[in-house]
Amino acid sequence: MALPARRPHEHKQVALHNALTVLNSGAELDRPDTPDEVVTAVRRLPAVEAAYAPFPDDIDPRLKAAFEARGVHQLYSHQAEACAHVAAGRQVVVTTPTASGKTLCYNLPVLDRILKKPSSRALYLFPTKALAQDQMAELHQLAAALKDAGIGEVGGEGLGIHTYDGDTPQDARRTIRTRAHIVLSNPDMVHSGILPHHPRWAKLFENLDFIVIDELHAYRGVFGSHLTNVLRRLQRICRHYGSNPQFICSSATIANPAELAERLAEKPFALVEKSGAPRGEKFFVFVNPPVVNRELGIRRSYIAESRRVAGEFLRQNLQVIVFAQSRLSTEILTTYLKEDFEDVPGMPERIRGYRGGYLPLRRREIEKGLRAGQVRGVVSTNALELGIDIGALDVCVMAGYPGTIASTWQRAGRAGRRRGQSAAVMVASSAPIDQFVARHPSFFFDASPEHALVNPDNLHILVDHVKCAAFELPFTTEEHYGQVNVQEVLGILQESGLVHRSGGEDAAGQWHWTSESYPANAVSLRSVSSDNFVITDHTHGSKVIGETDFTSALSTLHPKAIYMVEGRIFQVEELDFVGRKAHVREVDCDYYTTAITYTKVTILDRFAEDAPKVALHGEVRVVSRVVGFKKIRFQTNENVGSGELDLPEQQMHTTAYWLELPLPLMNALPYASDDRRDGVIGLAFAMKQVAQLLLMCDARDIGLSVNTDDPDGSATAPSRRSADGATAETPRIFIYDAYPGGIGFSAPLWGMQQELLEKTSALIAGCDCDSGCPMCVGPVGETGPLAKQVALRMLQHLQVSTLDGSSEDLSTVARSAKVEEVPF
């Protein structure tokens, strides 16, 4: 189908209403929630009027003139509030919606300080290079306005505003180091390119007044834990040069912005959260794909439903962004929409895909196409969730619940302007969490967004940064770092010859770096490994078409895997594990592949042993291995084949929460052993979904593993082995932090276990299906016919035994059984 010609701007409103009316089968656009219908909720979020405040009195009048020239005649209330905190010398974090003028909250005080004190310096940190480029463009426009207002120079030099990242040419770097007033960079570059070379940056560090951290909410989990350490190192260097920078941070809406800022910068923060910016009217719609098989609890595919919804808006010539859950579903949806809206040969492509792993040039081209309006629809992973400038689109369609409330609002914010109407549509998948949200819209609309958690004292991360810090500046024997005893860490590093303590045993001394290596090179902030796999296409000659991080390489680039880029289909011919390369060739086929991964968890150390022992948390080793793959046909999603793989295993040490199902309990259940095991697996499936909801974390942040009574205890998937005797080993359900060293989910989950079991019970009991479905204990074909029933019985027993305290003797029995344990 061809897209109709572009309509004049004033028709947009009509177009939006038309599309929404079609989706909503003609019903009212703001109506009560109806969990049983396809459109379960339509909420009209009314337009909001602006709240203004005057510019601060003491601001440089020329700066005020420059802002006025850019159309800013007064401030929004939150901007004025933020400036007041900065003026009072406080660290501040601003959390207001997308497009509310957050950048002014830091640009105004920073530029004002530079005008008053030309030696002053500021460092801006963005989570990506592209965001820094975006911001530099905005600052340059301000600088041009300043020039018109009569300020061509400060302190006899031009106002220096520069990005400094991996793309900065070598010959420009020297100038930037000494002349830039504002350096826009990213944590990775600070970590590996600036801090290790701090003597060359002496001028910046001596005069550093502000550190600006934009998109603060992006720094959670591993990345955030690394950032705390980078900021520790940064502040350590600042102390060395005698500066004490003030922090100004901005964040999307999360539950704990001030707490997160305090964890990252390790200083007290003031919070500004009431936005004074105006907002246009927005419709928020929840769509739950219709049930096509009630017994099996199967709904129409949410991908197909998202395709239909996005198509409805595209047909009205509205500009649409579709967020998909994974790289794979991004590619699948791109393929579908490209089919529906075929391009005219020779014209720019109107439907594009966008995700990490595309080369930067392609990404810039797509962003530009979106701003110019030639690209009418883009299907993206969360890569476009952050503030990359793609203009304001009309509609956001989310294919699947993004997993967190914060992320859902953030994505919805990519559509909509300060005036005029926009819409956001969430299409629920059959994952239990999606179903829960689709059926309980008020959970989303009325609840607080998530907490962002970091664990900067994760020993793996901390040790890496102690090495970097020692390289940058010798540690003194009195120095503190983080919450651990850094002197002990340094002692261990000395054992491996990495540092050397100078000065006598008793006298105050220093720890010097004694290795030829450059430790920052070995540490990647984005993951636990800095290794990337490069994907090379050999269809015509050889050409690099993308890259993938180490952790997902084995499951997405194994031999015979289907790899997609913007709808083009490639097959992996060879995975060169040592050379970190995947060789692919374009193929024509009608299926994609998903990997089958087996995971085995071994307990290394138990915490909270004196508490009731049915559930525990502690340290574990997780070994996982991609053992095979399934071929799934496009459109129908039927399984059309499979293959076995022999790939190396990956392992990590992390923290986990686990639930033990004591053997007496298991053996007391009136079911066959296969059914009991099915029950455990079904219970685990449901528990993970509830855990994700309770922890308010991303699905990828936690992993699930079950040890059943398989002889090697390693399989998570059930093997239909007939077992005649009683269950011999205590089954355990592990919910582990999916990062080496853990990022702090296990202890809180253990603390909430009563709620965890109750909510799991409610989820399973409240599900409409007969004997298990993807929305509770997992699809019946995979979990077995009695899983639902058995899981519920287990929960009843568990809750009773936990409550009456009889767990003590049950678990004693459990612990005497043969279990795989490794003494730590």
Binding interface with other proteins (CB under 8 A): 195-200, 202, 459-460, 463, 470-474, 488-489, 492-498, 500-505, 510, 512-519, 521-522, 528-531, 550-551, 577, 605, 623, 648-653, 740, 824
Would you say 652 or 756 has its CB closer to other proteins?
652
Helices 102-116, 77-87: axis angle to 10 degrees equals: 40
Q: How far is the CB of 744 from other proteins (least distance, A)?
A: 17
Shortest separation between residue 577's beta carbon and other proteins, angstroms:
7
Using the structure block, give the residue that is written with the tokens 């080793």. 621
- Beta carbon nearer to other proteins, 226 or 352: 226
DSSP 132-152: HHHHHHHHHHHHHHHHHTT-S
Q: Which is nearer to other proteins, 516 or 610 (CB)?
A: 516
| Shortest spacing between CB 586 and other proteins, in angstroms | 29
161-163 vs 182-185, strand pairing mode: parallel
CB-nearer residue toward other proteins: 426 or 469: 469
Distance, CA of 457 to CA of 454 (rounded, Å): 9
Q: How far apart are the first and last CA of the chain?
A: 63
Nearer to other proteins, 550 or 591 (CB): 550
Minimum distance from residue 463 beta carbon to other proteins (Å): 5
Residue 88, phi then psi, degrees to nearest 5:
-80, 5
Residue 196 or 432: the one with the smaller Cβ distance to other proteins is: 196
In the complex, the smallest distance separating the C-beta of residue 121 from other proteins, rounded to whole angstroms, is 16
Distance, CA of 612 to CA of 614 (rounded, Å): 6
Please report, for the chain, how many H helices and E strands are present, in that order. 26, 34
Shortest Å distance, C-beta 499 to other proteins: 10
**Given the complex with other proteins, which of 516 and 588 has the nearer CB atom?**
516
Q: What is the DSSP string of 660-687?
A: E--HHHHHHSSS-HHHHHHHHHHHHHHH
Q: How far is it, in rounded angstroms, from Cα 422 to Cα 665?
A: 54
- Nearest distance, CB of residue 59 and other proteins, angstroms: 35
Give whichever of 217 and 501 is closer to other proteins, judged by the CB atom: 501
Nearer to other proteins, 323 or 471 (CB): 471
| Min CB(229)–other proteins separation in Å | 14
The edge-to-edge listing of strands for the beta sheet with 475-476 is: 475-476, 510-513, 499-502
Q: What is the closest distance, in whole angstroms, from the C-beta atom of residue 821 to other proteins in the complex?
A: 15
Is residue 509 within 8 A of residue 477, CB to CB? The reply is yes
Of 383, 408, 285, nearest to 327 by C-alpha is 383
Residue 809 belongs to what H/E stretch?
helix 807-816
- Considering beta carbons, is residue 269 or 471 the nearer one to other proteins? 471
- The number of angstroms, rounded, from the C-alpha of 314 to the middle of its chain's C-alpha atoms is 28
Closest to 644 in 3D by CA, of 656, 626, 663 = 626
Q: How far is the CB of 657 from other proteins (least distance, A)?
A: 20
Give the sign of the dihedral formed by CA 751, CA 752, CA 756, CA 758: positive
Of 318 and 466, the one with the shorter C-beta distance to other proteins is 466
Pairwise CA distance, residues 531 & 541, whole Å: 25
Structure tokens at 480: 């503190």
Query: CA-based Rg of the chain, rounded to a whole angstrom?
Result: 28
Contacts of residue 360, defined as CB under 8 A and 6 or more positions apart, other chains included, come to 130
DSSP characters for 760-777? HHHHHHT---SS--TTTT
CB of 710 to other proteins, least distance (A): 17
Smallest gap from residue 227 Cβ to other proteins (A): 19
Nearest distance from C-beta of residue 568 to other proteins, angstroms: 30
User: Residue 566, by phi and psi: left (phi above 0), alpha (psi -120 to 50) or beta?
Assistant: left
Instruction: In angstroms, give the least distance from the CB of 808 to other proteins.
Output: 26
Of 18 and 529, which has the nearer Cβ to other proteins? 529
Q: How far is the CB of 177 from other proteins (least distance, A)?
A: 11
User: Which residue type sits at 794?
Assistant: M
In the bound state with other proteins, the residue whose beta carbon lies nearer, of 529 and 799, is 529
Tell me the backbone φ, ψ of residue 421, rounded to 5 degrees: -105, 155
Closest approach, Cβ 650 to other proteins, in A, equals 6
Nearer to other proteins, 596 or 661 (CB): 596
How many residues in total does the chain contain? 824
- List CB contacts of 608: < 8 A, sequence separation 6 or more: 616, 617, 750
Structure tokens at 391: 């203009």
Exposed / middle / buried, residue 118 (Cβ in 10 Å: 0-12, 13-18, 19+): middle
Smallest gap, in angstroms, from Cβ of residue 622 to other proteins?
Answer: 9
Segment holding 204, helix H or strand E: helix 202-206
Q: Do the beta carbons of residue 738 and residue 702 sit within 8 Å?
A: yes
- C-beta closer to other proteins: residue 31 or 197: 197
Shortest distance, position 527 Cβ to other proteins, whole Å? 9
CB neighbour class for 577 (10 Å; exposed up to 12, middle 13-18, buried from 19): middle
**Could you give the C-alpha distances from 32 to 421, 435, 538, in angstroms and in order?**
21, 18, 55
Query: What does the alpha-carbon distance between residue 475 and residue 501 come to, in Å, rounded to a whole number?
Result: 9
Q: Which residue, 205 or 269, is less far from other proteins as judged by CB?
A: 205
Q: What's the CA gap between 414 and 101, in Å, rounded?
A: 14
Nearer to other proteins (CB atom), residue 492 or residue 765: 492
Q: Which helix (H) or strand (E) holds 52?
A: strand 52-53
Closest residue by Cα to residue 134 from 76, 205, 215? 215
202/669 with CB nearer other proteins: 202
Beta carbons within 8 Å of 658's beta carbon, 6+ residues apart: 601, 603, 615, 616, 617, 618, 620, 732, 733, 734, 735
